[in-house]
Structure 1
Amino acid sequence: MPQNRDHRIIRSRHFHKMQRRHFIVFDILPFVGTLVALGLLFYRPVGVMELSLFLGFWLITGLGLTVGYHRLFTHRAFATSTTMSATLIVMGSMAGRGPMLSWAAMHRRHHELSDHDGDLHSPRLHGGGLIGRLRGFLHAHLTWMIAHDYPNVAHYVPDLMADRRLVAVNSYYYSWVVLGLLLPAAIGGLATMSLWGALTGMLWGGVVRMFVVEQTFSAINSIMHTFGTQPFVTRDDNSRNLGVMAWIAWGEGWHNNHHAFPYSAAFGLRWFEFDPGFIFIRALEALGLAWDVKVPSEEKIARRMLRQPGDATAPDLETG
């Protein structure tokens, strides 16, 4: 397998072929399926069942990504049991955003090189001017997934690779994606006792939901590094906060907060910053299913807000 001299990444035609295949199956096909679902509205409008399945699986898979893939596995922002960890892998995998180990490796590389050469999905590396910005935005939102350098998991996620049980659950990624399509189909079919219910259940709870979740998480790469506020100085990256994105992206909209305190389980750091992902973590903690939940102190938050652009010394590597 051809490998770049930089041991942190792997450049491989085989990996690029797999990435293109994943892009077609989990990005292009859900888009086509969404068009089909919208077209069927002219035949029969959606009802409470379809909307409930869409919202339910949107929440389940979104929390799997933000709480599981992102806050637990990538940043180790809290601790939980193997059973709960496995459950979060399944929840996140059903979103079709890639296996947990690969996702965590890519995101750790993103924090290492955010908006600099080597960042896999920065919108800022395609030249200046309107055309360069549009190209960068499209790259960050979509086209980077077609083919990209693969972060070496042995370098970026050795702690996760050391847990054989999590590796085993992760290895069934494609099975969990299929489960995310079959479950809403089964629920829709049983709820209506019809094949039509199974079809619309799979479309709205599976395919359309997958497309919407993908667009939402892609917006974190594109929108959240282009628009919004920057209350914290970070390491020369363009991470931003955008409150509306926090509501529709499970708390991920507080992206500048996250880059300032990547170890934090809370992305919303102030009382008015709504963060569904952190609410879920606190609920797990109350049930005894999560512990060692990391959150920066008010003093640290205030101190970081007072920093000036020249004062940030590798804040993205801050560990608490």
Structure 2
Amino acid sequence: MEMTAEVENTGTRPREVRPLHGPPRGTWPQVATYIFILGPFIALLAAVPLTWGWGLGWLDIALAAFFYTATCLGVTVGFHRYFTHRAFKATRSLRVGLAIAGSMALQGPITHWVADHRRHHAFSDRDGDPHSPWAFGSSPVALVKGFWHAHMGWVFDRNLTNAERFAPDLLADRDIVRVHRQFGLWTAVTLIAPAVLGGLISWSLWGAVTAFFWAGLVRVSFLHHVTWSVNSICHMIGSRPFAARDRSANFWPLAILSMGESWHNLHHADPTCARHGVKRGQIDISARLIWFLEKFGWATDVRWPTPKRLANLEKRASA
């Protein structure tokens, strides 16, 4: 349901609350959204029969793993923990590098991604959340519909989240505005670079073709579905040891593939925390990267969890 501009009483003087949605996505950007979501998805579906006997080599696996890790961390450490939640401060070069790496995951331009996610936290699992699986109710049919909506259906909505309301800091950052506008360039790089490397390393055209397929298209689509699973699965099933305002949950099978993002309950309980996997055995690769960045002085003022804060959140959850 669209929320229009309204007057909010702050106790001093009324101020205008900007609408959730900004101008709708244009026709060609909408077409591009379908192409770069459904194209890699078709490649992912084709990957299963292609693995039987031909078309996949160790070079393809290595390149896919490299680009998956780099672009996934660009989203988790960059788009999510830094740009959306400011879990740490970053040098200018790190800030730009994280913005580029996240853009190469093909999950949308940075300002759109951040605005969507901040809106998700503002209205998590309530009216206004762009991708709650509980949007249509809790009956079996409603949950099936909600799962589809939360997982990928919401991506095709032409109504963009209002960045002026949810991401004004990024709109005021010239470096980030430049990276946002270069999304087409980074789309090309993330798909062409694996093909170029595959061709040069194998010194063959076929090496370029298979690298483009596996380390380009399949890798992009696989990362899409891992990220979207945090939106869908991690708001439906899993453990909830910490008190949160919504149905966010920890889902351990996704922990490594999502670089620690599937420890989702703690994240929603304490959104600005730089580490999501805080219990023994909870692997959080993104937090480990932030730790290294801090050691090198590229990340500062990191918001690490404290025992007192975690104990309070656990106590509230059990109350």
Q: What TM-score results when the alignment is normalised by the length of structure 2?
A: 0.91
- Could you tell which deviates more after superposition, 205-214 or 24-33? 24-33
Aligned-partner Cα distance in 2 for 1:230–1:19: 38
Counterpart in the other structure of 1:27: 37
Q: Where in structure 2 are there 5+ consecutive unaligned residues? A: 7-17
For residues 228-307 of structure 1, what are the structure 2 equivalents within 5 Å? 228-235=238-245, 237-307=246-316
- Could you tell which deviates more after superposition, 42-51 or 183-192? 42-51
Aligned-partner Cα distance in 1 for 2:117–2:80: 8
Alignment match of 1:124 (pick from 127, 134, 157): 134
Q: Does 1:9 align with 2:9?
A: no
Q: Please state how far the C-alpha of 1:90 moved relative to its aligned partner.
A: 1.2
Aligned-partner Cα distance in 2 for 1:281–1:104: 19
Counterpart in the other structure of 1:199: 209
Structure 2 residue matching 1:230: 3-state secondary structure: coil
For residues 51-90 of structure 1, what are the structure 2 equivalents within 5 Å? 51-90=61-100
Q: Does 1:101 align with 2:111?
A: yes
Aligned-partner Cα distance in 2 for 1:31–1:281: 31
Alignment match of 2:179 (pick from 169, 186, 208): 169
Aligned length: 307
Per-residue CA distance 1:146-167 (angstroms, 9 max, x = gap)? 1153221111111122211121
Alignment match of 2:195 (pick from 185, 200, 225): 185
Counterpart in the other structure of 1:316: none
Aligned-partner Cα distance in 2 for 1:85–1:111: 22
8 Å contact kept, 1:3–1:9 = yes
Structure 2 residue matching 1:21: 3-state secondary structure: helix
Structure 2 residue matching 1:169: 3-state secondary structure: helix
Q: Please state how far the C-alpha of 1:9 moved relative to its aligned partner.
A: 2.0
8 Å contact kept, 2:30–2:158 = no
Report the identity percentage: 36
Q: Please state how far the C-alpha of 1:171 moved relative to its aligned partner.
A: 1.2
Aligned-partner Cα distance in 2 for 1:148–1:73: 23
Aligned-partner Cα distance in 2 for 1:273–1:86: 29
Structure 2 residue matching 1:306: 3-state secondary structure: helix
Structure 2 residue identity aligned to 1:248? L
Counterpart in the other structure of 1:318: none
Structure 2 residue matching 1:151: 3-state secondary structure: coil
Aligned-partner Cα distance in 2 for 1:98–1:109: 15
Structure 2 residue matching 1:190: 3-state secondary structure: helix
Aligned-partner Cα distance in 1 for 2:209–2:200: 11
Q: Please state how far the C-alpha of 1:270 moved relative to its aligned partner.
A: 2.4
Q: What TM-score results when the alignment is normalised by the length of structure 1?
A: 0.91
Aligned-partner Cα distance in 2 for 1:247–1:155: 33
Q: Please state how far the C-alpha of 1:191 moved relative to its aligned partner.
A: 0.8
Aligned-partner Cα distance in 2 for 1:291–1:9: 32
For residues 306-317 of structure 1, what are the structure 2 equivalents within 5 Å? 306-308=315-317
Structure 2 residue matching 1:9: 3-state secondary structure: coil
Aligned-partner Cα distance in 2 for 1:145–1:191: 36
8 Å contact kept, 1:19–1:147 = no
Q: Where in structure 1 are there 5+ consecutive unaligned residues? A: 312-320
